Structure 1
Amino acid sequence: MARRAKRVGLISAGLAAAVCVTGSLAYASASAGGGDATAGASPTRVGTAPHLPASAHTTGSAPAGQQLQLGVNLQPRDPQALKAFIQAVTTPGSPLYHHYLAKGQFGREFGPTQATIDQVSAALRAQGLTPGHVSPDGLTIPVAATVAQASKAFGTGINSVKLADGRTTVANTQAPLLPAVIAPVVSGVTGLADLAPAASHVRNSGKHGKAKPIARTSAPRLTTAHATGLASCPSIGSSLATNGMVDTRNYYSPAQLASAYGLSTSATAGAGQTIAVMELESVDSTSIATYQSCMGTNVPFSIVPVGNTSGNTPPNNSTVGVESVLDIENIMGLAPGAAGVVDYEGQDGSNSSLPQNQLDVYQQMVTDDKAQVLSTSWGLCEGYTPDAFRNAEANIFAEAAAQGQTVVAAAGDSGSSDCYGADGSTTSLGVDDPASQPYVTGVGGTWMNGSGSLLAQRVWNNTTDGHNQVAGGGGGASSKWPAPAFQGGITGQGTRSVPDVSAVADPYSGYLLVLGSQSNPTWKIVGGTSGAAPLWAALVAQANTSAGCQTNGQVGYLNPSLYDAARANYGGAYYDIRTGDNGLRNLGQTSYGAYPNYDLASGLGTPKLSGLVNSLCGAKGTAATGPGTYHTLTAPTRFLNTYTGYGQGVSGTSTSRPLPAYGTQPVRITGQHGVPSSGVTSVVLDVTIASLSGGGQLTVYPDRAAKPGTPQLSWPGANRRISVQVTVPVPADGVVDLYSNATVHMTVDVMGYYSGATGGAKLSVLPTASRVLDTRNAVGVGTKTIVTNNTVTFQVAGRGGVPATGVSAVMLNLGSVNSTGAGYFTAYAGGASRPGTTNLSWMSGGPYVANTAVVPVSANGTVSIYVTGTSHVVADVQGYYGSGAAAQFTPVTSTRLLNSQVAAGSTTPVPVTGHAGIPAGAEYALVSLTSASASASGSGLAYATGGSHAWMADWYWLTGQTTSNEALVPLNSNGQLSVYSSTGTRLQVDVQGYFS
């Protein structure tokens, strides 16, 4: 069952341990309760003016007396702490994993402080408004105002706007103007614009989208209860057959849906789970009762009205009420043992100020915290959602994630052109909100036919199947949200990609509804992603009742687990949809096709719950910690190559495309290529990038951890190829993430790993580095000839302070000198087969390029370096791993120790111990050294403060460039190192771990 964090102490202590946040999480906002910092400052506009749909036009100023229902939406008191908490409760191995917030705890921990709420309320009253009671989570202050009052208070005109559907509504002409004292804590003001109401994503299937009578039986009830709770009543089957409708061909009954997706057919499936549905229409409770009678289910059903719903149009099961019936009956048929289905009913589209009411519905679903799973089949083109509305939604859904609630949303029925569904004219690319929200699981649509081994699926698109309807599964790239880390390496996009997953949505192979009273029942078949979303809600409810979730905590925020499942066992967790596209051909759109693994038409695919449930609910291991010894891989291995598509990404298969700017590429490290599946504390990687879109930075860090602000590699512009060695901690899931803020191709090679297991080697660091190879001066070799596409083999053992025997690997600083053209080095044990890896790389000839590498040593004590291209080769040994060494390595969260402009010829001391958890007594530090924007070409070296240092540099740079390298540096007795810089530069020192 769900594990809820009951005490503030558990949250604070657990999160501090997980993400290095110290103290209570009840941080006061910088602006809360103290206006002095902004006293006298000018008012600030928050957000942007709304974007009018293409088919809308302004008809003049809105009537001054027209009533508006507004919401002044506040930020959480510390958005970063909230984000970190959500990360912690969804990260395997975290002390807070699945320890969700208890009901009502969000406001106390993450909501705005009372001082902030009072300050905002006072500022609103000062503007002539009357604020209402703040929502239970503290995120919304309701305000009822006339157009005149709102226009004056928020410094904006408000126009009447006529929409394509003939409805007249309102839109503000400027972003709302707020007093400077409250602007920083307000995410936006909603209700000033209502340009495109949320639409239902339900679709009819031509003639079978109309209700058909069910033949009466002599029994007073349609049927008796079924043992499984999933079999259709015989009278429906007879009526369907009469109309030529065949299960698994023209429609899917609940039993066949369960069979197709691996759901349980037990009458107790979903036991104990409450599922909430968001509806913006009235529902026919009689039809729900008739369905339950027919199907033999007995799921408690209730309606919670939100706002004034008295004016909602009564259901007619033709134009009003079909969406609600589809959602509710779908869930009841697939989770017949559920503790309840709750319909949160908001105002329908005939009411004014609908946007704020939509938020009110979502907010009440979350603050009530009655349901473990929330489903919505209503949405709006993302491009027409005002910033204020979208930001308020995001905070509500973040609250749901913190509480362990799963939110699923239909991805839309207008294919790749979501805004077409909003205004009937815009055919440009677009996705649906809230499906595109990062804390929401967007559900796309497929066509499905058959069952078992004959099951066939493709992307739903009624413009390519002969039906010529403007309908297809929604999907594409968000224009509002950046790429979340959980999608890194899968989508190939630099933004949030939709959908996440899919299910059947084609109305011609759709969902069977029962309508009307028991005395006059009818059936109809409908589709749309409106059916796919509640199907996934029922699936999550079933997963939550599995033994794994009962032991390890309910699924909660679903997206990270969905993508983890793809990493661990893609084929076992999903049906891969590889056929079709979601471009609406009759609108001229052919944008997103189905491809192997993830695509923007079907997401990860459709579910196989039996294979998916372990990733959603299985026991999660913890990351190995503590000091470790080094285990050399005799054959260093390439894990990822975006040029050729080879490698282990999240799905375990190739992508063959560059990593986009601001994209994240996860790489599975453990359990393959000689790296064990458990006990690994950190790995040594050689990463090579080729920049395609300009200067940038690469950051490598443990998967599901917060991305540190300490990149290990930087480059000054496009058309650069550069390598860096990175030693990175390995998390419980065995995956590390690579993030780039520029578009790059990359390769990732693993050289070895640290663990506490026996058989590893300890480290000995040389007091000063020693040069063991220099082809310019015949050091280590018998010639001064520059090397071209050839191998250099040289002796390491027994030279420069390295013992003659017992050495398994050495840490070398490799240098390419006086190269011509592009090239790279591959370093490996002398005499061994040359691996397909890269230790140092360059795009064009240059004076000096350096990179550190841990290199295996052969039994006779030699190392080989193969030069691809033409270059002199230099190698300086910094330390060695062997049986006679003493130090073990402990990784830390990458932490910046120094970021300072230094003068030419300066030496800068850098304290190490006492930072990033590094204890006194640490002997050596593994650091990343960076020179940024150097005033002239130069070099730098690091050494123990007060000690001697070698004349060989650790890294080199050119004028104006940013260059990095990893270095192994002794510490003095006070735990300090020093860095010498030959030219003026911005010097950055980041620590990755320590040896002791």
Structure 2
Amino acid sequence: MAPDISRARRGRRVGAASLAVAALAGTFVASGAAHAATSTTAASVTFGGMQPAWATASADRGQVASGTAVTSTIYLAAKDQAGMEAYAEAVSTPGNALYHKYLSASQYQARFGTTAAQISAVESWLRSSGLKVASANSHEIQVSGSAAQTESTYGLSLHNYSVKGKTYRAPAGSAHLPAAVAADVLSVGSLSTMPLTMAPAGAINTTATEDAITGAKPTMGTTRDGATYVGQEPCSSYYGQAVDTTAPAQGGKENPYVLCGYSPQQLRSAYGVDGVTGKGVTVAIVDAYGSSDILSDANTYAKYQGDPAFKPGQFLDTETPADFYDYADCGGPADWSPEEHIDVEAVHAMAPAATVHYYGGNSCQNADLLVPLQQIVDTHSADIVSDSWGSVVFSSAGNLTAADKDAYDQTLMQGAIEGIEINFSTGDCGAEDPTTGCGANDTSTVPQADWPDTDPWVTAVGGTSTAIGKHGNVLWDTSWGTDIYLPPTTAGSGWSYLEWYFGGGGGTSAIFSQPWYQRGVVSKTLATTLPDGTRTTSAMRTVPDVSMDADPYTGFLIGLTTTLPDGTTGVGVEDYGGTSLASPLFAGLQADAIQVDGGRRIGFANPAIYAEYGTGVYTDVTGKGPGTKAYNDMPADDGTDATNYSVGFGDDQLLTATPGYDDATGVGTPNTNYLWARLGW
């Protein structure tokens, strides 16, 4: 009998429409927000990376009708692009004379930001070309016009392409911009009509039932102590608590039942942040859409767990529900609700006095999720940002354009200069192998590392399986990778392997060069070997940078409004995981670190993370510890004592945890020394 795991969401995307980006391997390589243009003549400059991988000759259905309405976006360059990148590196690197000499948002704008004269010059050129300017700010100019006007303005041709039975518009080649304005343009985007969407990096649920929060915590039974769990039973409220004596032994011993889900107190204890609250720090969370019950659910859940609720003004919400759209490609607010809840509640669990500012994009499209990031850096509204979403780069149905990459780069570097830490989760499908169920679901065409977590200006947070013991201590960590086994069908037949299910994302990027902070830590072999085995001629960016608990089988209890078993709607608790747990956990830990360090901002954390590699503040996850030999049993949800299936830990397929830096867990996972070593960052 197949395991009853229908409620466990396969990876971080739901449905084929939840594609994000694809490109041909080696199409472009970037070390930062490099200008995408190359001179061709004195009168024009070529901007490459415009044509999607799916815009092939065989798919070409001819040039777009000249009168077709077309919208596009000009992303604007900084007035000193090279100086901006150099300052972002200097201000983030320990030992540099400019280390932590952050600029305010206004200082950034004055020194590096796009000037009014640049915006005016580009607007004048666009209008003189016949396009209508819809909106303009220091990041971008959005314009509209006919296809003929657009083609003439950008010096390219727009064609229709047939992809999987649908027709999409895309450029048939590079753009050619006048030299007089080319220096003011970072890239040209939005010319393709195929949706470029992101999806939540987890919020994976392994339970089959929910129940209402009643104020009285349910118990496991008379033989076990109280467990804050209302899903499948039996389960363990700490690792190894409840042993399954009804199923055959596996790995030479009886297996514990899977965890009920960790409480906030258990996670704080495991990472050594008891008594620290993140007071005075603001953590921003960016997701698509927003749930009207985020705050009320978080407060109900906090009280249920014995933690303080948000105080007035401690939770801020920036979203525009009237402008939400693209539910077909993104799943809509309902699909993103668990992600939003786990992000908010995990940060609050780790840093209960930190201010949490939630930002909801109007859809899951790249451009709509970039807008909140731009708002944050333009107003410096947060010290830390947690982003639990992303997508594959090489997809059967999408494309990462130079415009998308460069626009994110620009915003991320601005954040670094202002001392804002921006974290992204690495995903929940290992190296996105398309031969696995989750890789196929993610429309991956080749084993690969995801994006935006591979951007060099991002702190990429990967996943571990973390066993927390009875006294809140970490018994072991291993890389998150889950194998599913079925119980013996006949006496003496033994457990049978079913499939690899999911695991923490990571790997070596095919598009970003190795950043300065990884040199000397990431081995040359790893930095020049892509997840599909291809060797590169130069070292490339490798992720994750750091890892925290993500495995849904060692997951976190969250509270959210849901349909309860009796058919009513109420606040229930369920255990969830994914690297969308790891990223907000790390954001909360960093908020605590800022408080401990007297309020000094961490900023872009990677150079300091790698500088402190090997100093004892991280636990090196080697892949040889007890977690790689551990199995847990999942009970059936039919009220019997039957074991439905078991999970094996530590198998992340193409990603391997080894001594030292590795592509499964990065430098390792912060331990109880981490917080107190932050003094003096």
TM > 0.5: yes
Give a deviation string over 1:879-913, Cα, whole Å, max 9, x none. xxxxxxxxxxxxxxxxxxxxxxxxxxxxxxxxxxx
Distance 1:435 1:411 in 2: 6
Q: Does the aligned pair in 2 maintain the 1:409–1:442 contact within 8 Å? A: yes
**1:77 aligned to 2:79?**
yes
Distance in 1 of aligned mates of 2:132 and 2:408: 23
The yes-or-no answer on 1:455 pairing with 2:475 is yes
Cα gap change, 1:519 to 1:390, in 2 (>3 Å) = closer
Inter-partner Cα distance in structure 1 for 2:166 and 2:272: 44
Q: Distance in 1 between matches of 2:592 and 2:570?
A: 32
- Work out which of the residue numbers 609, 616, 630 in structure 2 matches 1:562: 609
Task: Tell whether the 8 Å contact from 1:309 to 1:345 is kept in structure 2 after alignment.
Answer: no
Secondary structure of residue in 1 paired with 2:556: strand
Q: Is the 8 A contact 1:46 1:187 kept in 2?
A: no
Which residue of structure 1 lines up, in the alignment, with residue 274 of structure 2? 264
Shift of 1:204: 2.6
Give the drift of 1:62: 6.5
User: How far is the alpha carbon of 1:273 from its aligned partner?
Assistant: 1.1
Matches of 1:292 and 1:151, distance apart in 2: 55
Aligned residues of 1:418 and 1:474 also touching (Cα < 8 A): no
Question: How do 1:897-916 and structure 2 match up within 5 A?
Answer: none
Native 8 Å contact 2:467 2:477 kept in 1: yes
Tell me, which stretches of 5 or more residues in structure 1 are unaligned?
1-29, 31-36, 224-233, 620-996
**SS of residue in 1 equivalent to 2:133:** coil
SS at match of 2:478: strand
Q: 1:276 to 1:240 in 2, by over 3 A?
A: same
TM-score, with structure 1 as normaliser: 0.50
Within 5 Å, give how 1:975-994 maps onto structure 2.
none
Report what 1:667 is aligned to.
none
- Residue 503 of structure 2 contacts residue 652 of structure 2 at CA under 8 Å; is this kept in 1? no
Query: What is the CA distance between 1:46 and its match in structure 2?
Result: 4.1
Q: Return the alpha-carbon distance in structure 1 between the equivalents of residues 161 and 480 of structure 2.
A: 34
2:179 aligned residue? 180
Q: Deviations over 1:298-347 (max 9, x none)?
A: 33223212696344659998634111111111111111101x21221112
SS at the partner of 1:392?
helix
Q: How do 1:469-480 and structure 2 match up within 5 A?
A: 470-480=501-511
Conserved 8 A contact 2:78-2:113: yes
The residue number in structure 1 matching 2:262 is 252
Q: How far does the alpha carbon of each residue in 1:8-51 deviate from its partner, in whole angstroms, 9 at most, with x for none?
A: xxxxxxxxxxxxxxxxxxxxxx9xxxxxx999613533434222
- Distance, in Å, in 1 between the alignment partners of 2:556 and 2:372 is 26
Deviation at residue 100 of structure 1 after TM alignment: 0.9
Aligned to 2:142: 142
Partner of 1:381: 392
Alpha-carbon spacing, 1:103–1:177, altered in 2? closer, same or farther (3 Å): same
- TM-score with structure 2 setting the length: 0.72
Partner of 1:532: 582
Q: Tell me the equivalent position of 2:8.
A: none
The one-letter code sitting in structure 1 at the alignment partner of 2:83 is A
Cα distance, 1:144 vs structure 2: 4.3
In 1, the alpha carbon distance for the partners of 2:321 and 2:175 equals: 24
Of 228, 231, 237 in structure 2, the residue corresponding to residue 237 of structure 1 is 228
Gap change, CA 1:391 and 1:97, over 3 Å in 2: same
Give the 5 Å matches for 1:657-668: none
Partner of 1:154: 154
Determine helix, strand or coil for the equivalent of 2:191.
coil
* One-letter identity of the residue aligned with 2:284: A
Corresponding residue for residue 99 of structure 1: 101
Report the alpha carbon displacement of residue 247 of structure 1 after superposing the two structures with TM.
3.7
2:673 is aligned, of 593, 606, 610, to 610
The superposition leaves residues 440-475 of structure 1 with CA deviations (integer Å, 9 ceiling, x where unpaired) of 100111112233666122111124676735421111
> Does residue 432 in structure 1 map to residue 454 in structure 2?
no
Give the letter for the 1:485 counterpart. W
Alignment partners' CA distance in 1, 2:321 and 2:404: 17
Residue 540 of structure 2: aligned partner: 495
Work out whether 1:298 is the aligned partner of 2:289: no
Distance, in Å, in 2 between the alignment partners of 1:301 and 1:469 is 39
Higher helix share: 2
Going from structure 1 to structure 2, the CA distance change for 1:113 and 1:532 (only over 3 Å counts) comes to same
| 1:189 match: secondary structure | strand
Amino acid at match of 1:98: H
State the AA in 1 paired with 2:286. M
**What is the aligned partner in structure 2 of residue 355 from structure 1?**
366
Shift of 1:177: 3.0
Post-superposition CA distance 1:717-758 (Å, at most 9, x none): xxxxxxxxxxxxxxxxxxxxxxxxxxxxxxxxxxxxxxxxxx
Instruction: Please state which structure has a larger fraction of its residues in strand.
Output: 1
2:92 alignment counterpart: 90
Deviations 1:67-110 (A, max 9, x none): 66532112222222223322332344544332211132222110
Structure 1 contact 380–422 (Cα < 8 Å) conserved = no
Which has the larger Rg? 1
Measure the CA separation in 2 of the matches of 1:364 and 1:306.
14
1:334 correspondence with 2:350: yes
The answer to whether structure 1 residue 593 and structure 2 residue 656 are counterparts is yes
Give the Å deviation of 1:407: 0.5
Q: Given the alignment, which residue of 406, 410, 425 partners 1:395?
A: 410
SS at match of 2:391: strand
Residue identity opposite 2:100 in structure 1: H
Task: Read off the aligned partner of 1:390 and give its amino acid letter.
Answer: K
Aligned residue in 1 for 2:51: 49
Shift of 1:529: 0.9
Residues 797-836 of structure 1 mapped to structure 2, 5 A cutoff: none
Q: SS at the partner of 1:214?
A: coil
Instruction: Give the direction of change, closer, same or farther, for the CA distance of 1:599–1:109 in structure 2 (3 Å limit).
Output: same
How do 1:599-638 and structure 2 match up within 5 A? 599-611=662-674, 613-614=676-677, 616-618=678-680
Bigger relative CO (Cα 8 Å, ≥ 6 apart): 2
Letter in 2 for 1:197: T
**Aligned mates of 1:418, 1:124 — CA distance in 2:** 43
Contact preservation (8 Å) 1:236, 1:523: no
Q: Could you report, residue by residue, the CA deviation over 1:166-193 in whole angstroms, capped at 9, with x for unpaired residues?
A: 9875433323332222223322112223
From the superposition, tell whether residues 328 and 237 of structure 1 become closer, same or farther in structure 2 (CA, over 3 Å): same
Which amino acid counterpart does residue 529 of structure 1 have in structure 2?
T
The 1:405–1:320 alpha-carbon spacing in structure 2 relative to 1, beyond 3 Å, is: closer
Cα separation, 1, equivalents of 2:116 and 2:332: 45
Paired residue total? 548
Partner of 1:542: 592
* Counterpart contact for 2:75–2:139, Cα < 8 Å: yes
Tell me, yes or no, if the aligned pair for 1:307 and 1:346 is still in contact at 8 Å: no
Cα gap change, 1:322/1:60 in structure 2, threshold over 3 Å: closer, same or farther?
farther
For 1:180 and 1:68, how far apart are their aligned partners in 2? 23
Residue identity in the other structure for 2:139: L
Taking the aligned partners of 2:163 and 2:576, their CA distance within structure 1 comes to 27
Shift of 1:426: 3.2
Q: Is the 8 A contact 1:133 1:141 kept in 2?
A: yes
Aligned to 1:766: none
Match of 1:507 among 552, 558, 575: 552
Amino acid of the structure 1 residue aligned with 2:557: L
Question: Percent same amino acid at aligned positions?
Answer: 28
Shift of the 144–380 alpha-carbon distance from structure 1 to 2, 3 Å rule, reads: farther
